Amino acid sequence: MSAWFFIIPVGLMVVSWCVFGMVFRGLLLALWFEPVLRVPVLIFESDDWGPGEPVQAQRLRRLAEVLSKYTDSQEHHPVATLGMVLAIPDKRRMREQGGEGYIALPLADARFAEMRDVIPRGVSQGVFAVQLHGMEHFWPPALIAAAKMDGAVASWLKSEFPRNETLPSSLQSRWIDAAVLPSKQHKWPEIERAAYDEVSVFSQVFGHSPEVVVPPTFVWSEDVERAWANNGVHVIVTPGRRFVGRDEHGKLIASGAPIRNGMRNAKGLVYMVRDDYFEPAKGHRAERAWAALEVKTRCGRPTLLEMHRFNFVDDPVVAERSYKELARAVEGALQRFPNLVFTSTEALAMAMADEQSDLIEYGMRARFRAWCWRIRQEAPVWRAARFTGLALLLNLAIK
């Protein structure tokens, strides 16, 4: 009789584990097949650079100076990827044309020559890597339509160098029409032409096609992916989900399954995940970056820190504080992780597709530990694991 007191609980536990496996099978497999990094990897991803105030060139030069002071064990500098916006509204020409239509002021304009000189220098130093953010950080027809209904947007258009950061969030989404909410999708011919134009202009400005694209506000569709792929883009930076629109309140609308590092779409584009933030101008301290790096490293994932332009181009005091906090983040990361690797998002995506890369872990024991840590980061799965007692085994596996 006493044997049943042992057999029944064990049997129930085994059954609950089987149910757990069946319920979360898809997610568990996705976590397993996501590439596992052998070493910590840290990348600073800085968006929104492009046509604007002349001070940007000076601030980018200072950013390069800060990053060039540090190297990893392979003599690589920390990399700040620059998500480039290629055009803003041309206030003067639009006024001359009566202000009814949209006219772009491109990054190729003579007024931005200094900035176009600073960026390639940073690339050659190994501290910058340019990425496509968009022709504009908005959809021009939607912006013009919104300006006719909203005085604040109309005033924004009259600025000398309007900054997309000060637009309503929904209007900053380039790949939807958010003039009126809920947003509407663009038609394929519009998408196809817009993708071709922005890739072409990027190539003219920087001398090569963009390898990596960062969708503005992370809103894009499968059609946009198809258009980018048709024009030679190979990597898409995501927040781990695809957002396809905005609801009546301007909130993002997610679509599809979660996205993992190294996944590919039907066209072969590689997805990378950026879901940690480091914005010193908003009070983020180096400790935040270190905490993100620790979690991502345990999970065998890269740490891509989102870090926008506004940290460095506003008040000089705020900008200098941002530089100092960035330097502190890099110094602390190197102290905590002596085997830390600095690289670009493009290079990392290529490594994930290379079966011979030294960055990727193939040993089953290390992969299993990373898998267990990843499960811990999935709240619904971890709650179920604790309920079934499976969490005890997973915790033992990672000790």
HEC assignment per residue over 335-394: HHCCCCEECCHHHHHHHHCCCCCCCECCCHHHHHHHHHHHHHHCHHHHHHHHHHCHHHHH
Closest CA to 339 of 40, 51, 5, 29: 40
β-bridge mates for residue 254, sequence order: 243
Tell me: the pLDDT tens digits for 40-69?
A: 999 999 999 999 999 999 999 999 999 999
Nearest to 148 by CA among 183, 101, 199: 101
Q: For the range 237-243, what are the long-range contacts, defined as Cβ-Cβ under 8 Å and sequence gap of 24 or more? A: 237/45, 237/131, 237/212, 237/213, 237/272, 237/274, 237/304, 237/345, 238/271, 238/272, 238/273, 238/274, 239/273, 239/274, 239/275, 240/273, 240/275, 242/218, 243/217, 243/218, 243/219
Please state the rounded mean pLDDT for residues 188-208: 98
- Least Cα distance to 76 among 302, 307, 330, 294 occurs for 330
Cα gap 258→15, rounded to integer Å:
28
Confidence at residue 2, expressed as pLDDT on a 0 to 100 scale: 54
In angstroms, how far is CA 272 from the centroid of its own chain? 7
Q: What is the pTM of this model?
A: 0.93
**Mean pLDDT to the nearest integer, 365-371:** 94
What backbone phi and psi angles, to 5 degrees, belong to 113?
A: -60, -40
CA distance 258 to 239: 9
Q: What is the DSSP letter of 178?
A: -
CA atoms within 13 A on the CB side of 45: 28
pLDDT at 206: 97
Tell me the percentage of the chain whose pLDDT exceeds 90: 83
d(CA 275, CA 201): 28
Confidence of residue 78 (pLDDT cuts 50, 70, 90): very high
Q: Does 273 score more than 50 pLDDT?
A: yes
Confidence at 15, pLDDT banded by 50, 70, 90? low
Average pLDDT over the chain reads 92
Provide the pLDDT confidence category of residue 19 given band limits of 50, 70 and 90: low
Q: Which residues pair with 238 in a beta bridge?
A: 273
pLDDT of 216 over the 90 cut: yes
Q: How many CA atoms does the CB half-sphere of 175 hold within 13 Å?
A: 29
Alpha-carbon distance 19 to 15, whole Å? 6
Predicted pLDDT at 25: 84
- pLDDT 10s digits, 313-359: 989 999 999 999 999 999 999 999 999 999 999 999 999 988 789 99
On the question of pLDDT at 1 being above 50, the answer is no
